[in-house]
Amino acid sequence: MHVKIKRIDKSLPLPRYETNGSVGFDLLCRESVEVFPQTVALIPANVIVETPPGYMLLVALRSSTPRKRGLLIPHGVGVIDQDYCGDGDEIQIQVYNFTNQPVLIERGDRIAQGIFVRVDCSEWQKVEQMDQETRGGFGSTDGR
């Protein structure tokens, strides 16, 4: 798959897949950011990506980021739409510092990864009743 990408700071390398088996490519922090305790911050990822039609770009933290840095993505993952690719649409990694200490993310640090995921758009079919029986509510599959 060929994907158009623009770097904001050309002195930083392009994102890359670290191993032959990697499904995600590492995103680099463009500038140092201090994330204060119990706050949300945006970390610029230095790239604008033109996601191909039929795909979305999912942004997730690297598995080591919560343990090593004390950061989470507040909503779990970031979703980059196909039309978020204008000249000023740099990918930003939203993070929450769940520690009691400031966390410094240095320029060039790898804290998140991008993964291309196939998607499709739905056409809604309005109905008055669903075919399936009610399961029992939110969280009902664990039998409690």
Residue 90 has which token pair? 């740099």
Going across the sheet that includes 40-44, the strands are 40-44, 92-97, 71-72
Q: Domain for residue 106, yes or no?
A: yes
Q: Domain for residue 60, yes or no?
A: yes
pLDDT band at 112 (very low <50, low <70, confident <90, very high): very high
Q: Domain for residue 142, yes or no?
A: no
Q: Domain for residue 71, yes or no?
A: yes
Q: Domain for residue 111, yes or no?
A: yes
Report pTM. 0.84
Residues 50-97 have pLDDT tens digits of 999 999 999 999 989 999 999 999 988 999 999 999 999 999 999 999
Q: For the chain, give the percent of residues with pLDDT over 90.
A: 83
- Mean pLDDT estimate for the chain: 93
Buried b (16+ CB within 10 A) or exposed e, 21-30: eeebbbbbbb
Q: Domain for residue 39, yes or no?
A: yes
How far is it, in rounded angstroms, from Cα 71 to Cα 64? Answer: 10
pLDDT of residue 143: 58
| Structural domain containing residue 86 | 4-120
How far is it, in rounded angstroms, from Cα 79 to Cα 24? Answer: 14
Q: Domain for residue 116, yes or no?
A: yes
Is the pLDDT assigned to residue 140 strictly greater than 90? no
- Which amino acid is it at 40? V
Question: Measured between alpha carbons, how far is residue 7 from residues 46, 47, 127 in Å?
Answer: 6, 5, 47
In this structure, what CATH number is given to the domain that contains residue 80?
2.70.40.10
Q: How many domains does the chain have?
A: 1
Report CA 120 to chain centroid distance, whole Å: 19
How far is it, in rounded angstroms, from Cα 14 to Cα 18? Answer: 12
Residues 14-33 have pLDDT tens digits of 999 999 999 999 999 999 99
Q: Domain for residue 54, yes or no?
A: yes
